[in-house]
Structure 1
Amino acid sequence: MTEQRDVASWRIILAFLLDAITAFVVVGLVVGVVFGGLTGNGFQLEGWRALLAFALIVAYFVVFNRFLGGTIWKRILRAVR
């Protein structure tokens, strides 16, 4: 049996915030480059592009947490249980 270790709450919260920011920026830029929506200051997604970006961000959290053992920032901050 594997033992469960306690992880500090601040690590989990910080990892989530950093993952959300990272996913928003990366997914937003990728969707903006591939499907249009880039502006001089970054990207602006509306309609189905914004829905696609939102779905990809949710998929990032689901896939990484369920199948890959934790998101990128959870692994960096050692907030994986």
Structure 2
Amino acid sequence: MKNKGLQLILFILSLICLIISAKLFYQLGIYVDEANTSPSVVLGGNFGVWLEWTHLALIGAISVLSGIQLFHK
């Protein structure tokens, strides 16, 4: 029971982090569109853009894997 509760907390926290990161990325897109600039300029170059995409992908993977582990059996 204790292990299941810990897995649930981890899943909820990773899901919240994914939602926050996706919302910030969406807001970045809105700013870039309204200011008529590019994400590379805002994030400091192409490396910053790759880091942001990697950040979203890793948080998404953590959320999926923790959800699978929580709901498996």
In the superposition, the TM-score normalised over structure 2's length comes to 0.43
The answer to which structure, 1 or 2, has the higher relative contact order (CA under 8 A, 6+ apart) is 2
Q: Calculate the TM-score normalised by the size of structure 1.
A: 0.39
Instruction: State the structure with more CA Rg.
Output: 2
Which has a greater percent of strand?
Answer: 1
Higher share of residues assigned helix: 2
